[in-house]
Amino acid sequence: MLSDFPSFTPLTLEDKDTYNQLVADYPPFSNISFTSMQIWWNLEGKLAISSLNGNLVIYYHISYDPANTGYSLIGKQALDESINTLFDYLRSQHEPARLVHIPEFVVDKIQHKDSFVIDEEPDYKEYILDSHALDSLEGSLHGRNRRRIKKFLREVEGRKVEFRPLDLSSEEAKDQLFRVIVEMETNRASENDPDHTEHLALRKTLTHASALDIQHLGLYINDKLSAIILYHRALGGNHYILNHIKVDYSVPYIFDYVTHHIAGQAVKENVDFLNMEMDLGIENLREHKMGLRPVEFFRQYTISPPQD
């Protein structure tokens, strides 16, 4: 499956087991999770990987976002040499000598950090939440979340509120679910995704839910679907990675209730942490994720040579 650099192999759904073996010992970053990569980074079928000095080179591609498109390095062996090899290759291709989305655990293993310019990507840090804390909501730190959930429960008092699996049994059912998601968004139109990239990602998630090990829940209020959660359990089993949460914002504080519920679900399944992924520099999203009181961040970096 894996080509030696500078050759690359497309990363397809059929490569899941082999790829997972390559990254099984690394922290559960969403950006290197097979499921998340297929959802977000392979919308145009250009996601590709290669082997370099026992490390993994990933080509992340989004045509409309060149600043975040490029090559990343995942591994812990001969990193200084590998980085310079990638820089030489990029120069030979008349591209900027710059690597993107390098996880912190890789940066930590670089021997001569002062030989490179290493800059954090603040928009790509992944928010890690404590499932137990978000489930129990004890202490002053979670006072705001407690108040919001109480307000949600008052709002829906007297109505039937239940979580149950989504119907993904047929293409017709998936199409209907997608239409419900689009309808939810009419209540809170977003200017952050004018090209509806998330719609493409949602379509892919729903279409390949089984192959991508997607777990799914819907929140129904009086039998009306009012929120969906699409997530997967990361390698190692101790994190959920939450790929999509879509809610009907006409119901106040519904998002807070949904995140509280998925934390409780995680606790029941002995999953200690939720990876809420990154905020992509969207200010209201950053504010909301910080309000959930993350206990850690999975940080990512760009690396470039000093002279470039």
Q: Is the pLDDT of residue 195 over 60?
A: no
Contact yes or no for 51/4 (Cβ under 8 A): yes
Fold identical between 9-124+300-304 and 126-277? yes
d(CA 242, CA 282): 17
- What CATH number does the domain located at 9-124+300-304 have? 3.40.630.30
For the segment 235-257, the average pLDDT, to the nearest whole number, is 95
Percent of the chain with pLDDT over 70: 96
| pLDDT number for residue 194 | 47
Task: Give the predicted TM-score (pTM) of the model.
Answer: 0.94
For residue 221, which of 244, 245, 251, 242 has the smallest C-alpha distance? 251
Domain ranges of the chain: 9-124+300-304, 126-277
What contacts 193, CB < 8 A, 6 or more positions away? none
d(CA 106, CA 102): 7
- What CATH number does the domain located at 126-277 have? 3.40.630.30
Per residue in 214-231, pLDDT tens? 999 999 999 999 999 999
Per residue in 275-294, pLDDT tens? 999 999 989 899 999 999 99
For the segment 88-102, the average pLDDT, to the nearest whole number, is 97
d(CA 123, CA 150): 31
Q: Is the pLDDT of residue 191 over 90?
A: no
Per residue in 136-175, pLDDT tens? 999 999 999 999 999 999 999 999 999 999 999 899 988 8
CA distances to 89, 133, 194, 267, 280 from 68, rounded to whole Å, are 18, 33, 17, 34, 10
| pLDDT number for residue 190 | 53
Contact yes or no for 69/62 (Cβ under 8 A): yes
| pLDDT number for residue 36 | 96
Per residue in 28-41, pLDDT tens? 999 999 999 999 99
d(CA 163, CA 155): 17
Per residue in 100-144, pLDDT tens? 999 999 999 999 999 999 999 999 999 999 999 999 999 999 999
Range from 35-44, 60-69, 164-173, 199-208 carrying the lowest mean pLDDT: 60-69
Strand, coil or helix: what is 55? strand
Q: Which amino acid is at 98?
A: R
**The total number of residues written for the chain in this structure:** 308
Kindly write down the DSSP assignment for every residue of 214-264, as one continuous string: -EEEEEEETTEEEEEEEEEEPTTSSEEEEEEEEE-TTSTTHHHHHHHHHHH
| pLDDT number for residue 92 | 97
Q: Is the pLDDT of residue 54 over 60?
A: yes
E strand or H helix at 36: helix 34-36
d(CA 34, CA 23): 9
CA distances to 44, 171, 255 from 277, rounded to whole Å, are 21, 28, 16
